Structure 1
Amino acid sequence: MMSAQTRNRIAAAIALSAAPALAACGEEPEELPVIEQIVVREPGQPIAAAVTGGGAADLVAAGEAAFSLCSSCHVAEPGQPSAAGPNLHSVVGREAGALDDFAYSDALTASGITWDAAQLDRFLTDPSAAVPGTSMAAGAVADADRRAAIIAYLASLGQ
């Protein structure tokens, strides 16, 4: 289950990434809330180095850094072909199993999932528990802050 703090971080990152698009449409974006956070970590945990100010932009930057582990199987660039895993550009809002250039497991295709922050959090916590029979054998992200950062990064793509 995603904590309220994690949901707020993801929502702030999504709102921050959507603000320029709203301004381009002639609408004034709402004033975004100020996000303040103190991150305390044990030495050697890399998310602390990436999240220094606690703002939505920092969370997205931390997610981009954390996504580097995922990039051994996934790409997240528009127009790039899927690799060992599907291209995750614009994954938020996409139905699971929807890309034509990737051979998804039957379990994922039949899951009925539309990827949002909560579904991504559940899946990244334990892919096999979230979708029994998925072919994503690796990739569980145990650290909730790291998952939140990755999800914020993915949500910022294709906005």
Structure 2
Amino acid sequence: MHRNAFLAASLLTVMVTACGSAEQPEVVEQIIVREPGEPETAVDPAGNDGAVDLVALGEDAFQICTGCHVNEAGAPSTAGPNLHGVIGRTAGGLEGYPYSDAVMTSDIVWDEASLDGYLADPAGYLPGTDMLAGAVPDPDTRAAIIAYLASTGE
């Protein structure tokens, strides 16, 4: 009995020591340049497989938007307009959605740059907008969401 307790204690000591001894990998920043038309990818911060699908990350990140928006062809708008096909759409151009006057008179045609500015600070980018609670402060998250929206356009 005493021998089993000693063995168990020794094994536990080895396991605990092994868990804390691994070195942490060095974080390396990379800039990836892509040619027009190539799929957008981002470097996986964990270093797995070199790159991650930015569209897949954006689909996951878009979940923060689903309280107000859908991104499905033909689906009815909810609290916010349906964002399917938003890239290239004139702001306020989705038929049947009651946009604010600020959006309707903005003359914005949504592209990656305008969506980035709007998602970073909706009321600052377009004063008078009804979207007051949808800011996405992290630029990487915004880029992923925009890549996802662009991938689902018509």
Q: TM-score, normalised by structure 2?
A: 0.71
Counterpart CA distance in 1 for 2:88 and 2:102 is: 19
Counterpart CA distance in 2 for 1:62 and 1:111 is: 30
Partner of 1:16: 39
Partner of 2:27: none
Structure 2 SS opposite 1:155 = helix
- Structure 1 portions without partners, runs of 5+: 18-34, 41-47
Partner of 1:96: 91
| Cα distance, 1:69–1:38 mapped onto 2, change above 3 Å | closer
Partner of 1:39: 45
The percentage of counterpart residues that share the same residue type is 52
Asked if the contact 2:42–2:54 (Cα under 8 Å) also holds between the matched residues in 1, the reply is no
Structure 1 residue 104: deviation in Å?
A: 0.3
Structure 1 residue 16: deviation in Å?
A: 2.9
Counterpart CA distance in 2 for 1:52 and 1:80 is: 36
Higher relative contact order at CA 8 Å, sep ≥6: structure 1 or structure 2?
1
Q: TM-score, normalised by structure 1?
A: 0.69
Structure 1 residue 101: deviation in Å?
A: 1.7
Out of 102, 112, 115, the position equivalent to 2:107 is 112
Counterpart CA distance in 1 for 2:111 and 2:73 is: 19
The size of the alignment, in residue pairs, is 124
Out of 108, 132, 137, the position equivalent to 1:137 is 132
Structure 1 residue 100: deviation in Å?
A: 1.4
Structure 2 SS opposite 1:16 = coil
| Cα distance, 1:133–1:52 mapped onto 2, change above 3 Å | farther
Counterpart CA distance in 1 for 2:153 and 2:42 is: 26
Structure 2 SS opposite 1:78 = coil
| Cα distance, 1:81–1:36 mapped onto 2, change above 3 Å | closer
Tell me the amino acid that sits aligned with residue 51 of structure 2: G
Asked if the contact 1:81–1:101 (Cα under 8 Å) also holds between the matched residues in 2, the reply is no
From the two aligned structures, give the one with the greater helix fraction.
1
- Structure 2 portions without partners, runs of 5+: 1-30
